[in-house]
């Protein structure tokens, strides 16, 4: 295709502002998909994505469009993940296109992810077209939101498109704006092949599918391509585009976006952001800024039933094939038996993987407390990375400990500002900035990641009745007074409940944890002490008293079926318990005990 007839773009938006609906409309309006084949939310393929209403894997679609100037254009839309955990993937897909539609819900206004995503687009030098969506709703206020876009983001929004992705109003104008306002790609057809690896995933029929943006040169079937990060060579088997279903073609030229397959075994062998060239006569310099995405949050996954360990191993290795940013290694725990220590890009990523293991693979799991990576500076001058509080070395050998910090941006209506500041303060935050955009405050905090990974987002939502939006980026490591806190149940340490905490917070956290556990652990026939300790020193203690009567005593003898039901219920409850010494601890205790409220 002639470069001047190509437009490559992405859509940036806060969650729920209508990105997927708009993408579907653009596809439908151009007849890319026949109306009767049109399923709502075409681009969100996975069930979980649909259920949770979030887009995880970047998808792409090629749209043919006859513009008002009578010319035929090819529009390539790359769908970017909207969540903070996938910030690196967002930034790579942004570099693969020249422009963005900035979708803002005209009943809501700019939110934290609007900002985070649009800054990525600005960083990638995009031309940006503001789109005010949901104008069909009575609460829509385009003037106010346009003004807010100008104030907060600092881009011109006077000509912002007014759209209803629901009714189709303004869709034609949006397509015209893509053609007239976004620049065509640049590239040299005769230069050596240089392509960006935008995304990759595993398909059970075709194997690993690699989404590429051609910068220079031409990619042809049969080419032997080389990944510049590791010099691996693969013969190209298929080349194609998404419309949105796959369509095979023979070649991709400069400026084009499409996919290839090359009998690559695992997604791990392909790295987002890598440069692809040909084995012979390849390009000299790789694209700048390549870095593999690194897991930042770790937790242990153990089967509730030890007999399911092999199933868990299988399931994890299948999921890893398809997700290079998910890491796992075997772990044994005195209390939990065999399991895996897994690394994730963030909490959402963790939840998605855990959900898939439980639902798609039907494995009941115990998830241990999520932990970040600590840098342990030893007295002998070496530095260790600590992924699991259970592995914390003896303190006499430790010089100091550093923890990862984030810069968090929170947008919140005025009336909840006080609660948000208190929450951030409680989590050892340091305020960096506080500004206003209309009736909303924008708060920027430097926070320890460890205080955020667990339930910060849930707490934020609850103290603001769902009105706050949140986004973060990593900013580096800082030393602080951190200690490992252990929990002992019936005098036995339960390593799965070990956490790293700030020394000043240890008593409060320890007390909260033992109180919670006291409620979560059912009574036994004997007294059970529950303690929190730092290096052998007990800092909090509760005692769960012994059970007096059989539960069925409640049933006044008479009703047999009721009695049976109660016993069955007890049995079912048992299944989800794990034994620690002589004590049964229910599965949910591991997560609930760590929540701070
Ligand atoms: P994620 O994929 O979760 O990031 O969200 P999204 O930004 O893709 O939003 P999505 O397209 O899923 O839309 C969110 C909700 O808003 C859905 O219930 C849509 O039906 C609704 N919606 C989207 N566009 C419009 C619109 O123009 N008008 C109205 N009334 N509702 C809309």
Residue pLDDT tens, the chain, 597 long? 789 999 999 999 988 899 989 998 998 888 765 554 555 545 444 444 444 443 434 468 899 999 999 999 999 999 776 566 666 777 788 899 999 999 999 999 998 888 878 888 998 899 999 999 999 999 999 999 999 999 888 899 999 999 999 999 999 999 999 999 999 999 999 999 999 998 888 777 788 889 999 999 999 999 999 999 889 999 999 999 988 778 899 999 999 999 999 988 888 788 888 999 999 888 888 888 777 777 888 888 988 888 899 999 999 988 887 677 788 999 887 667 899 999 988 777 888 888 889 888 999 888 887 889 999 999 999 999 998 888 899 888 999 999 999 999 898 988 999 999 999 999 999 999 999 877 788 999 999 998 888 778 878 888 988 788 888 888 899 999 999 999 999 998 888 888 899 999 899 889 988 999 998 888 888 899 999 999 889 999 999 988 765 555 454 555 556 556 555 555 554 445 666 677 888 766 776 776 655
Protein residue whose Cα sits closest to atom 14 of ligand 1: 16
166 CB under 6 A from ligand 1? Answer: yes
Long-range own/partner contacts, residues 143-149 (CB < 8 A, 24 or more apart)? 144/109, 144/438, 145/104, 145/105, 145/106, 145/108, 145/109, 145/110, 147/438, 148/109, 148/110, 148/437, 148/438, 149/102, 149/104, 149/110
d(CA 341, CA 109): 40
CA torsion, points 309, 314, 315, 320, in degrees to nearest 10? 120
Q: Is 322 annotated as a binding residue?
A: no
Q: Is 136 annotated as a binding residue?
A: yes
Length of the chain: 597
Residue of 13, 14, 18 best suited for mutating to test ligand 1, as the one with most atoms within 8 Å of CB: 18
Question: How many A from CA of 250 to the centre of ligand 1?
Answer: 36
136 CB under 6 A from ligand 1? Answer: yes
133 CB under 6 A from ligand 1? Answer: yes
Q: Which residues contact 496 (CB under 8 A, 6 or more apart)?
A: 300, 302, 333, 335, 336, 366, 368, 369, 390, 590
19 CB under 6 A from ligand 1? Answer: yes
Report the atom number in ligand 1 closest to the C-alpha of 165: 27
Query: 544-592 pLDDT, tens per residue?
Result: 988 765 555 454 555 556 556 555 555 554 445 666 677 888 766 776 7
Protein residue whose Cα sits closest to atom 22 of ligand 1: 18
Question: How many A from CA of 407 to the centre of ligand 1?
Answer: 28
**The pTM is what?**
0.72
Report the atom number in ligand 1 closest to the C-alpha of 21: 11
How deeply is 247 buried, as exposed, middle or buried, from its count of CB atoms within 10 A (0-12, 13-18, 19+)?
exposed
Question: How many A from CA of 201 to the centre of ligand 1?
Answer: 26
134 CB under 6 A from ligand 1? Answer: yes
Query: How high is the ipTM of this complex?
Result: 0.97
d(CA 94, CA 82): 12
């Amino acid at each position: 295709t002639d470069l001047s007839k190509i437009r490559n773009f992405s859509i940036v938006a806060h969650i729920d502002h209508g990105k997927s609906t708009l993408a579907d409309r653009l596809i439908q309006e151009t007849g890319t998909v026949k109306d009767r084949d049109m399923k709502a939310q075409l681009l969100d393929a996975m069930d979980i994505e649909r259920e949770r209403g979030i887009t995880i894997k970047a998808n792409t679609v090629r749209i043919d469009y006859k513009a008002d100037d009578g010319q035929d254009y090819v529009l390539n839309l790359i769908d970017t993940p909207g969540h903070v955990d996938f910030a690196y993937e967002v930034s790579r897909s942004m570099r693969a296109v020249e422009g963005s539609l900035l979708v803002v819900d005209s009943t809501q206004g700019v939110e934290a992810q609007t900002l985070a995503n649009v800054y990525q687009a600005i960083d990638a030098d995009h031309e940006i077209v503001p789109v005010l969506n949901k104008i069909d709703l009575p609460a829509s206020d385009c003037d106010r939101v346009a003004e807010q876009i100008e104030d907060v983001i600092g881009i011109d929004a006077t000509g912002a498109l007014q759209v209803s992705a629901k009714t189709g109003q303004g869709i034609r104008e949006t397509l015209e704006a893509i053609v007239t306002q976004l620049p065509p790609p640049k590239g040299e057809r005769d230069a050596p092949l240089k392509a960006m690896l935008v995304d990759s995933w595993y398909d059970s029929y075709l194997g690993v599918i690699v989404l590429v943006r051609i910068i220079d040169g031409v990619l042809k079937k049969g080419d032997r391509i080389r990944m510049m990060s590791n010099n691996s060579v693969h013969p190209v088997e298929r080349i194609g585009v998404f419309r949105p279903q796959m369509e095979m073609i023979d070649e991709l030229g400069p400026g084009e976006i499409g996919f290839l397959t090359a009998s690559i075994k695992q997604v791990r062998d392909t790295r987002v952001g890598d440069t692809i060239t040909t084995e012979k006569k390849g390009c000299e310099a790789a694209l700048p800024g390549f870095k593999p995405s690194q897991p930042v949050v770790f937790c242990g996954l153990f089967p509730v039933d030890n007999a399911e360990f092999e199933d868990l191993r299988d399931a994890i290795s299948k999921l890893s094939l398809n997700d290079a940013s998910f890491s796992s290694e075997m772990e044994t725990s005195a209390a939990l038996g065999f399991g895996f220590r897994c690394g994730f890009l963030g909490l959402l990523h963790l939840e998605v993987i855990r959900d898939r293991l439980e639902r798609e693979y039907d494995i009941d799991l115990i998830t241990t407390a999520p932990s970040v990576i600590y840098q342990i500076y030893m007295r002998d001058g070496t530095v260790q990375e600590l992924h699991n509080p259970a592995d914390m070395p003896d303190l006499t050998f430790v010089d100091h400990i550093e923890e990862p910090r984030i810069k968090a941006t929170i947008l919140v209506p005025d009336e909840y500002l006080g609660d948000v500041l208190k929450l951030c303060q409680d989590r050892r935050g340091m305020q960096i900035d506080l500004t206003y955009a209309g009736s909303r405050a924008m708060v920027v905090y430097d926070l320890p990641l460890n205080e955020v990974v667990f339930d910060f987002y849930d707490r934020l939502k609850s103290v603001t009745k769902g009105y706050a939006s949140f986004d973060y980026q990593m900013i580096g490591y800082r030393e602080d007074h951190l200690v490992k806190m252990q929990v002992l149940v019936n005098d036995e340490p339960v390593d799965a409940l070990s956490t790293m905490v700030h020394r000043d917070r240890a008593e409060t956290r320890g007390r909260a944890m033992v109180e919670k556990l006291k409620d979560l652990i059912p009574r036994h026939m004997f007294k059970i002490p529950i303690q929190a300790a730092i290096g052998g020193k007990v800092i909090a203690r509760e005692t769960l008293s012994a059970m007096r009567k059989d539960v069925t005593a409640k049933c006044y003898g008479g009703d047999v079926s009721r009695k049976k039901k109660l016993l069955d219920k007890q049995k079912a409850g048992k299944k989800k318990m794990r034994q620690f010494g002589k004590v049964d601890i229910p599965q949910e205790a591991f997560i609930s005990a760590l929540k701070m409220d």
